[in-house]
């Protein structure tokens, strides 16, 4: 899985992230999504899955403030962010016993995933790996998300998007697909949002 800092690319969002102190240009994707699609307020609790290098955790901390809580999980060590709790774990290997580490943050108002597999260039294989990551996110969502909470997941357009769209529609009252302006035009990525868990 990968979500790396992409300072090397030198585009406007990369330069802006360096200037404003964000760890990756992807911070602006989340800022736009929170501005237009998801209400995140002071005092809320957020879980950032696949958090390295921490750009999304930075944005989440800004939004929830000192009254709120942010927990971040990744297999790659992440440099500390003030008031953000970091748990070093593989998302794909998470078990319910691991949730004891973040029980004081429960339930979460928002679960984030900007994860993507290491791309092979083989479409079917990449989609399969992305769906595996989505299933890991859904395992967490089913266990830890507040009834009125939301989930935001990055997927690839195509099979993984169709799969995730259907999976969220069975769980949430509202589902929307959104591609931020800061997502590169030639990128196959898009984002899907689920809001308000259906009561079974």
Residue closest to 152 by CA, chosen among 39, 16, 14, 20? 39
| Catalytic residue selected from 36, 154, 169, 174 | 154
In angstroms, rounded to a whole number, what is the distance separating the alpha carbons of residues 112 and 133?
A: 12
Q: Supply angle C-alpha 77, 80, 84, rounded to 5.
A: 110
Q: Examine the residue annotation and report whether 36 is marked as an active-site residue of this protein.
A: no
In angstroms, rounded to a whole number, what is the distance separating the alpha carbons of residues 173 and 168?
A: 9
CA dihedral 147→39→164→93, nearest 10 degrees, is -70
In angstroms, rounded to a whole number, what is the distance separating the alpha carbons of residues 34 and 40?
A: 7
* Residues identified as active-site: 154
């Amino acid at each position: 899985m990968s979500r790396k800092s992409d300072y090397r690319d030198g585009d406007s969002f990369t330069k802006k992230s360096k200037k404003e102190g964000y760890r990756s240009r992807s911070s602006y994707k989340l800022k736009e999504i929170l501005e237009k699609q998801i209400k995140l307020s002071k005092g809320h609790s957020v879980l950032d899955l696949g958090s390295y290098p921490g750009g999304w955790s930075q944005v989440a901390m800004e939004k929830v403030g000192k009254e709120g809580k942010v927990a971040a999980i990744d297999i790659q060590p992440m440099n500390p962010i003030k008031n953000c709790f970091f748990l070093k774990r593989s998302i794909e290997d998470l078990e319910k016993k691991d949730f004891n580490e973040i029980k004081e943050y429960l339930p979460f108002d928002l679960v984030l995933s900007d994860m993507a597999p290491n791309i092979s260039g083989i479409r079917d294989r990449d989609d399969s790996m992305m769906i595996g990551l989505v299933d890991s996110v859904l395992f967490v969502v089913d266990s830890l998300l507040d009834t009125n909470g939301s989930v935001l997941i990055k997927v690839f357009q195509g099979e993984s998007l169709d799969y995730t769209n259907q999976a969220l529609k069975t769980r949430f009252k509202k589902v929307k697909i959104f591609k931020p302006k800061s997502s590169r035009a030639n990128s196959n990525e898009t984002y899907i949002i689920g809001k308000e868990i259906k009561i079974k």
